[in-house]
């Protein structure tokens, strides 16, 4: 396997340190309170609203609220809230400061939310419901809403809305130097560009030193799963994400344990569906959907589970009437014939972790005359470009927790994930009706209608759900458990971790 440049740099650095006995130093570091974690690739930008894997983002940043294991909203930087159809009012935690010394207050919340909503960010869509923001006083902020949005608090708990220093946002330094309110602050002097980012305990952290177990967190970017497994086995890192093919090797090493949790909802997206676009014809999109065989993926990824739709039974937005697109090449070819057998070709970007999946899909689409060229990029470049509109087709995760957020992120005419800017009158009418229903008993069924139309129009399909697999040294780290925040990849509860024996 060919390693990306970052992987080569990391592998070389680890090899050199191993020659110098760094495995022993790594063990000493863990005992003295430094956690070394790898999640595959640093964010291209650390600015609020940028694509950041949760395992990176949730070291320096905190959210206004969180979710517990029952899915209930819990306090973080906001301690209380009151929501009506017209507004969400938040009471903010006192005595909190950002890593650069800037006070956390209502003005800081206003700057963050506006920078995400009004910027060119992938998470702008769900926040467009906020028409204006009033700074009532230093600890009270009022979000005025364009329409009833009962899911807004849930949105504020996700990786869409980390809270950063308004000073760092204003001077744009936050893109490369994250400045949040979390327990650990970024230390560039102790970091190595492209290889390691070091975060040290922030002495003014509002929850105190006893709330965390480690004095420092070192984040690594090793995109190759075999290299990451080797680094874990050698003791260079303490925790990493991994894949099923690496399990036997890892389990053969004393002290290494693993866990998995549902984290990935993955589906192809047809971006170039505007007038003249290669996927403008709904019959071409439907044909592509019938050509895909998600069950074949289980040979590559045993933990993938094919699904008919984005939401699971029991979740808001689920519609039992959606049959999806069971593999049917004859029907796919018939639809292509009805569309005039157009010559369809598309380029798509992949990351190392979904390259094989896209290559399988490309081979399947070739069967009906759709040519797909797969190009591979390092994870940071993949995350910043796959849904940017540069490519007519994309494959990525949809981690939105509510149907409102999913619609606003990908399918509304002004959604960030809808670069073509097109939306059918039927979909808009259904979404408007569901939004207007607010928290009424009718809302659930109305959102089911929205997801049904999305499926029928083949705006996306090929839904699969997968597990995040985490491996760690249990003789060095205690307290590793699945996160309470649902559908976030590469994540552990950092505050719950403790050095072994501490």
State whether residue 128 is helix, strand or coil.
Answer: coil
Tens digits of per-residue pLDDT, 333-369? Answer: 999 999 999 999 999 999 988 999 999 999 999 999 9
CA distance 156 to 134: 17
Average pLDDT value over all residues in the chain = 92
Tens digits of per-residue pLDDT, 18-48? Answer: 333 333 333 344 434 999 999 998 999 999 9
Closest CA to 237 of 18, 468, 435: 18
Tens digits of per-residue pLDDT, 400-430? Answer: 999 999 999 999 999 999 999 999 999 999 9
CA distance 438 to 48: 27
Residues in the chain: 502
Q: Quickly list DSSP for 79-118.
A: EEEEE-SSEEEEEEPSS-B-TTSPBPSHHHHHHHHHHHHH
Tens digits of per-residue pLDDT, 165-213? Answer: 999 999 999 999 999 999 999 999 999 998 999 999 999 999 999 999 9
- Check: CB of residue 451 under 8 Å from CB of residue 318: yes
Closest CA to 90 of 101, 70, 104, 103: 104
**pLDDT value, residue 6:** 39
- Residue ranges, comma separated, of all CATH 3.10.105.10 domains in the chain are 262-465
**The domain 5-52+182-249+483-499: what is its CATH number?**
3.40.190.10
How many Cα atoms are found within 13 Å in the side-chain-facing hemisphere of 134? 9
Average pLDDT over residues 383-389: 92
Place of tokens 């083949």: 458
Burial 105-125 (b: 16+ CB within 10 A, else e): bbebbbbbbebbbeeebbbbb
Tens digits of per-residue pLDDT, 80-99? Answer: 999 999 999 999 999 999 99
- Residue ranges, comma separated, of all CATH 3.40.190.10 domains in the chain are 5-52+182-249+483-499
- The answer, yes or no, to whether residue 16 has pLDDT greater than 70, is no
In CATH, 65-168 is 3.90.76.10: yes
- Check: CB of residue 496 under 8 Å from CB of residue 479: yes
- The answer, yes or no, to whether residue 120 has pLDDT greater than 90, is no
- Residue ranges, comma separated, of all CATH 3.90.76.10 domains in the chain are 65-168
CA distance 225 to 242: 6
CA distance 209 to 201: 8
Tens digits of per-residue pLDDT, 431-489? Answer: 999 999 998 999 999 999 999 999 999 999 999 999 999 999 999 999 999 999 999 98
Please, what is the end-to-end C-alpha distance for the chain in angstroms? 40
Structure tokens at 106: 């209502």
The domain 262-465 is placed in CATH, from the list 3.40.640.10, 3.20.20.540, 3.10.105.10, 3.30.70.1350, at: 3.10.105.10
Tens digits of per-residue pLDDT, 267-307? Answer: 999 999 999 999 999 999 999 999 999 999 888 778 889 99
Q: Quickly list DSSP for 199-212.
A: EEE-TT-TT-GGG-
Backbone angles phi, psi at 238, to 5 degrees: -100, -25
């Amino acid at each position: 396997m060919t390693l990306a440049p970052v992987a080569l740099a990391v592998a070389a650095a680890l090899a050199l340190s191993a020659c110098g006995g760094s495995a022993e130093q790594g063990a000493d570091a863990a005992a003295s309170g430094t956690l070394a974690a790898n999640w595959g690739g640093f964010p291209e930008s650390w600015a609020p609203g940028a694509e950041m894997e949760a395992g990176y983002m949730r070291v320096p940043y905190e959210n206004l609220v969180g979710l517990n294991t029952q899915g209930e909203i819990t306090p973080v930087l906001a301690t209380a809230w009151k929501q009506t159809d017209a507004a969400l009012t938040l009471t903010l935690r006192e005595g909190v400061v950002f890593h650069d010394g800037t006070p956390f207050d209502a003005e800081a919340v206003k700057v963050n939310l506006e920078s995400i909503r009004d910027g060119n960010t992938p998470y702008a869509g769900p926040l467009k419901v906020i028409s204006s923001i009033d700074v009532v006083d230093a600890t009270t902020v009022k979000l005025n809403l364009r329409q009833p949005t009962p899911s807004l608090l849930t949105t504020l708990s996700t990786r869409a809305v980390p809270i950063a220093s308004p000073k760092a946002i204003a001077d744009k330094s936050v893109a490369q130097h994250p400045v949040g309110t979390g327990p650990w602050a970024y230390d560039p002097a102790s970091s190595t560009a492209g290889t390691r980012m070091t975060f040290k305990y922030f002495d003014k952290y509002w929850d105190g030193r006893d709330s965390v177990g480690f004095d420092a967190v070192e984040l690594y970017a090793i995109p190759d799963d075999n290299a990451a497994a080797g680094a874990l086995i050698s003791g260079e890192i303490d925790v990493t994400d991994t894949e099923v093919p690496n399990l036997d090797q890892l389990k053969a090493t004393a002290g290494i344990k693993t866990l998995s949790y549902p984290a990935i909802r993955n589906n192809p997206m047809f971006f170039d569906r505007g007038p003249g676009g290669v996927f403008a014809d709904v019959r071409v999109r439907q044909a592509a959907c019938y050509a895909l065989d998600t069950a074949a993926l289980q040979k590559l990824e045993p933990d993938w589970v094919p699904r008919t739709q984005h939401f699971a039974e029991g979740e808001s937005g689920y519609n039992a009437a959606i049959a999806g697109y069971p593999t049917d090449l004859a029907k796919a070819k018939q639809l292509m014939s009805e569309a005039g057998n157009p010559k369809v070709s598309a380029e798509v970007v992949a990351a190392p972790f979904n390259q094989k999946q896209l290559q399988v899909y490309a081979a399947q689409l070739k069967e009906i005359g759709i040519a797909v060229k797969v190009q591979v990029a390092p994870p940071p470049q993949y995350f910043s470009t796959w849904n940017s509109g540069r490519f007519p087709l994309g494959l990525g995760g949809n981690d939105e927790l509510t149907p409102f957020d999913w619609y606003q992120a990908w399918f509304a005419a002004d959604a960030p994930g809808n670069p073509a800017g097109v939306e059918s009158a039927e979909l808009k009418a259904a979404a408007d009706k569901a939004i207007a229903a607010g928290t009424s008993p009718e809302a659930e069924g109305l959102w089911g209608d929205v997801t049904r139309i999305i499926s029928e129009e083949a705006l996306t399909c090929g839904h699969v759900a997968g597990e995040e697999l985490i491996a760690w040294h249990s003789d060095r780290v205690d307290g590793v458990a699945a996160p309470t925040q649902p559908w976030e990849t590469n994540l552990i509860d950092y505050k719950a971790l403790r050095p072994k024996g501490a």
